[in-house]
Amino acid sequence: MSDNSNSTTQLADTWQIWKERARIYAERILSLPNDSYEKTLAVAFWLCLVCAILVSFAAVALKPLQLSNKSADMKRNILEVVDLWEEGMDVDEAFKQFEIKVVDLATGEFVDDIDPESYDMRKAAKDPSLSDPLPRERDIAQIKRRPKYATVYFLKEGGKLQAIILPVSGYGLWSTMYGFLALEPDCNTVIGINFYDQGETPGLGGEVVNSDWRALWKGKQVYDESGTPVLRLVKGSVSPDQSGAEYMVDGLAGATLTSNGVSNLIRFWLGEDGYKPFLDKFCGQQ
């Protein structure tokens, strides 16, 4: 007999021996009284093992679906921020109107050697090779690290730029809020804001996703005449006639701390450490 068939027979014998041992063990355990320690422990152990295998299998098998849902949710959020989203629409098809670019935040230049489709700005913010720690005095939005590169989305219609969509993030009261701010091609007038991931209290800080409140942002101005980002939330309601109303949005009722977080994230991301170098260059060139 060849070495190969010898080892196959040995393997089959070993399998038979272990199968027989497992059967005897199972019979012995099952014949024990239900309140015996050994049976209780054995049942708990095997139950845990089977559940762990099922959960691991589900986690691995569902990962691609989770990633595709996450990406669809992000795209939907971007469509919402520019008022293009409609129930039942083909998100991937609608998203073809957007051009995606990666921007170097320090220089404000486009980066061509990073694939914008696969670059993950949130992941990059945790990677020391792709982000820098922010000193406390500059970390207005309390994000701790700033990614070196940002993904910027350009909405175009017939080749004409309609909107610039910028990812923003910052700490509220309980959570880091992640969202998008859409600006008109003048790099100053707000089209909309939206948050796709936040953990503020529903009905209080969680109202950052309320469409009525989000509608108040349309037409607001980010920068004053000196180019400083001054757009902020103020306590109470903003009257259209009051001086500086174009730089103010109603604060969220009973949620001043989340409101401050939103003001801070605007100040950070539209400032020198955020998109200002890019917006100055981009709008200066147009």
Residues 6 or more apart whose CB falls under 8 angstroms from that of 165 comprise 78, 81, 82, 98, 152, 153, 154, 155, 180, 181, 182, 183
**In the chain, what's the furthest Cα-to-Cα distance?**
98
Q: Shortest Cβ distance from residue 176 to ligand FMN (Å)? A: 13
Q: Please report whether residue 207 would count as binding ligand FMN according to CB under 6 A.
A: no
User: Residue number with the shortest CB distance to ligand FMN?
Assistant: 205
Structure tokens given for 162: 């309609």
Residue 223 or residue 268: which is nearer to ligand FMN going by CB? 268
Contacts with ligand FMN by CB under 6 A: the residue count is 11
Spatial distance between the Cα atoms of 192 and 80, rounded to a whole number of angstroms: 8
Residue 150 or residue 252: which is nearer to ligand FMN going by CB? 252
Tell me which stretch binds ligand FMN (CB under 6 A): 37-45, 190-198, 250-258, 270-278.
250-258
Q: Please report whether residue 177 would count as binding ligand FMN according to CB under 6 A.
A: no
131-150: contacts with ligand FMN (CB under 6 A): none
Binding residue (CB under 6 A) for ligand FMN from 71, 142, 162, 201:
201
- Nearest one of 101, 111, 141 to 260, comparing CA atoms: 141
Q: Please report whether residue 199 would count as binding ligand FMN according to CB under 6 A.
A: no
Residues 226/273, Cβ–Cβ less than 8 Å = no
Structure tokens given for 45: 């152990």
Binding residue (CB under 6 A) for ligand FMN from 191, 255, 265, 270:
255
Binding residue (CB under 6 A) for ligand FMN from 32, 197, 256, 280:
256
Structure tokens given for 216: 């108040």
User: What is the SS3 assignment for 97?
Assistant: helix
Residue 105 or residue 233: which is nearer to ligand FMN going by CB? 233
Please give the radius of gyration of the chain, using alpha carbons only, rounded to the nearest integer: 28
What residue ranges bind ligand FMN (CB under 6 A)? 173-174, 200-201, 204-205, 254-258
